[in-house]
Amino acid sequence: MKREEDTAKISVALEDILPKVRKPGRYLGNEWNVVKKDFYRQGVSFAICFPDLYEVGMSNLGLRILYGVLNAQEGVACERAFLPDIDMQQMLKEKKLPLFSLESKVPLAEFDFVGFCLNYELDYTNMLAMLDLAGIPLLSRERGPEFPLVIAGGACVSNPEPLADFVDIFFIGEAEEAIVEIAQIYKSHIGNHAPRIEKEDILKEIADIKGVYIPSFYEVDYDEKGEVKKFLPRFCTLPQRITKRIVNDLNQAYYPTQWLVPYVQIIHDRAPVELMRGCPHQCNFCQARNIYQSLRIRSPQKVMELAAAILESSGYEEISFLSLSTSEYPFLKEVIDGLQERLQEKAVSVSLPSLRPKAYLGKLAEYLAKVRKTTLTFAPEAGTERMRNRINKNFNMDEFYSAVLSAYRAGWQSVKLYFMIGLPDEDCQDLDGIVELVKKVSFLRKEVSPLIGEVRVSISFFVPKPHTSFERMAMDSQESLKGKIAYLRKKAKGLPKAVRFNFHGLETSILEAVFSRGDRALGKVLLKAYQRGCILDGWAEHFKFDAWQKAFEDSHITIDSYLQKKTASDILPWQHINL
């Protein structure tokens, strides 16, 4: 009865709170196609959490897949939670209310599992904030059987070590099959309303599932320099390396079609269909390729079936075809042709993520322009052929310019281009190449129009990520990168106003590099940073780099130590993760 009283208390309090906060639709939980089970009649309960604001989390495909696949299981209830905005956090603290799930308004501490989707390193303190708001101890070793088991998965856990102090279970790879196995193991040990079993007992059994990594079952030793010296399992039955899990057949894999439609605008507010996983290319800098290998392709018939079902259930007027390299999907034109009549009848536009230039893209641009023109996006990554060869980026410039020209002829006005700076062996000629390439793309429109093309240029900073060919390389220094930013800004002043350069945050990129390459010692930095108010760091208005620097100083750890080159003999913090 106490549980039902807590839920009722939260529901009543929200009637007073919601009119006083920004975007109250973030906290309602009554979206179109939402799943509501009787929480207290299910055997196993999962809270799927995204450690950022609602509009970011609801744009995450992984969260939607896990939400759907768990709720499709008998005896399992899955509900969602997101990090509240600052105003809502203050309200919860004032009213002494715990963080709750959207569907049933149940406190997160009452769930059996609290799982986090981690796709960005600067969300780590957001995860701590959600646990804290829920009244769940932050450190794994301080959580007894009365608290939920904390799971984390997503791209970031390809190096899970910085979060080892806080997470009970990491899942390496694709979780939609294994998450059901975890639920079934837990369900086999309990009946409805049964007391929770001992934490270590259930963890030992879950550890047998392929892709599962239990950090408390492994010991790490460091040398006098603070470098990893030894990594050993505590039990002989545990593997030395944890191998990622993948879904072998995308045509048989679960994919949500009863699409949740939010009442507030989200970041990617459209109907997405995943075409394939993995990537046929081998770019040296790309971590995602190794995370999602091997290449698996969804059939065109299945893609069209999913697209039709999602559009029917959601009413969206834009559909997006997703993959790491959408232009390499061998049936893209077939799918577009197959859906053409339905899309034009319903005035549904198609958006495509970052593309590689292909000969057929020109004709595709002509069709896409008939409904509604969205921005065509390409990622040359580097400004010169020399540098693209250095990073093994296969990008045919002749086909690229041909595709852009065809798009201009079809009536497109805008192109978006992605580049990185700080790449290995980069020099001023490579930076000049970015400016020249952008200029050519803009002026190419003059061949079909009196106007030049609008070009949005996004510049990020190269991070030598784990599980890539560059994982042992150093990151370019902050001083060097600042010089390159200034150089490009000066060069860009000579370009027309239709060309706009946007630089990612340098300081956030440095922290991203540190935590993507870090070890367990960074756990104390995360804790101190959170205690100093570092949350929502992905949002410029909340980012406090000085507080982060103080957290490193207080922990007697230098930022630069994680950005330096690693030798062939160094043990990498992520070497026990096998992708």
- H or E segment to which residue 297 belongs: strand 296-297
For 485, the token pair is 């930013």
My answer on whether 206 and 289 are in the same domain is: no
Domain harbouring 182, CATH code = 3.40.50.280
Bridge partners of residue 32, in order along the sequence:
261
My answer on whether 345 and 491 are in the same domain is: no
For 63, the token pair is 């969260």
- pLDDT of 194 reads 52
My answer on whether 391 and 441 are in the same domain is: yes
Residues 392, 395, 400: CA angle, nearest 5 degrees: 170
My answer on whether 501 and 474 are in the same domain is: yes
Question: Does residue 92 contact residue 83 with C-beta atoms inside 8 Å?
Answer: no
Bridge partners of residue 297, in order along the sequence:
276
Domain harbouring 381, CATH code = 3.30.750.200
My answer on whether 335 and 373 are in the same domain is: no
My answer on whether 462 and 398 are in the same domain is: yes
- In order of 54, 122, 170, 200, 425, the CA distances from 175 in angstroms are 22, 22, 10, 22, 38
Distance CA 249, CA 419 (A): 33
My answer on whether 287 and 332 are in the same domain is: yes
Q: How many folded domains does the chain comprise? A: 3
- pLDDT of 54 reads 97
My answer on whether 342 and 408 are in the same domain is: no
Phi, psi of 291 (to 5 degrees): -65, -40
Q: Is residue 325 part of a domain?
A: yes
Q: Is residue 258 part of a domain?
A: no
Question: Does residue 470 contact residue 427 with C-beta atoms inside 8 Å?
Answer: no
Concatenate the DSSP letters of all residues of 232-277 into one string.
EESSTTS-SSEEPB--S-TTTS----S--B-SS--TT-SEEEE-EE
For 311, the token pair is 């559009």
My answer on whether 340 and 364 are in the same domain is: no
Find the length of the chain.
579
Question: Does residue 320 contact residue 272 with C-beta atoms inside 8 Å?
Answer: yes
pLDDT, mean of each 10-residue run, the chain (579 residues)? 72 92 94 87 90 96 96 94 97 96 95 96 98 98 94 96 97 94 88 64 93 94 78 87 94 94 92 93 90 93 95 90 88 88 83 69 64 74 96 91 87 91 96 97 94 95 96 96 97 92 96 96 97 96 97 96 93 93
Domain harbouring 286, CATH code = 3.30.750.210
- pLDDT of 200 reads 87
Distance CA 15, CA 93 (A): 16
Instruction: Please name the residues in contact with 281: beta carbons below 8 A apart, sequence gap of 6 or more.
Output: 289, 325, 328, 356, 392, 393, 394
Last residue in a domain, options 520, 548, 569 = 520
Q: Tokens 């105003």 identify what position?
A: 87
Question: What sign does the dihedral 131-134-139-141 (CA atoms) show?
Answer: negative
Last residue in a domain, options 295, 323, 350 = 350
- H or E segment to which residue 150 belongs: strand 149-153
Q: Is residue 577 part of a domain?
A: no
Distance CA 579, CA 575 (A): 10
Q: Is residue 392 part of a domain?
A: yes
Which of 57, 206, 63 shows the shortest CA–CA distance to 126? 57
In the three-class reduction of DSSP (H, G, I as helix; E, B as strand; rest coil), residue 381 is classed as strand
- In order of 33, 34, 325, the CA distances from 274 in angstroms are 20, 21, 11
250 Ramachandran zone, left/alpha/beta (phi>0; psi -120 to 50):
alpha
Q: Tokens 């939609």 identify what position?
A: 176
Q: Tokens 């800098």 identify what position?
A: 285
- pLDDT of 190 reads 72
Q: How many angstroms separate the first and last alpha carbons of the chain?
A: 46
Compute how many other C-beta atoms are within 10 angstroms of the C-beta atom of residue 95: 13
Q: Tokens 């232009």 identify what position?
A: 327
Question: Does residue 518 contact residue 162 with C-beta atoms inside 8 Å?
Answer: yes
Q: Is residue 579 part of a domain?
A: no
Instruction: Please name the residues in contact with 252: beta carbons below 8 A apart, sequence gap of 6 or more.
Output: none
Q: Is residue 408 part of a domain?
A: yes
Q: Is residue 571 part of a domain?
A: no
In the three-class reduction of DSSP (H, G, I as helix; E, B as strand; rest coil), residue 415 is classed as strand
My answer on whether 320 and 448 are in the same domain is: no
Distance CA 575, CA 578 (A): 7
Which parts of 372-427 fold into alpha helices (H)?
385-390, 397-409
Half-sphere exposure for 111 (CA within 13 Å, toward CB): 33
Owning domain of residue 102: 38-243
0.85 cut: is pTM over it?
A: yes
For 538, the token pair is 């992905």
- pLDDT of 184 reads 92
My answer on whether 174 and 225 are in the same domain is: yes
My answer on whether 360 and 479 are in the same domain is: yes
Last residue in a domain, options 243, 276, 305 = 243
Q: Is residue 385 part of a domain?
A: yes
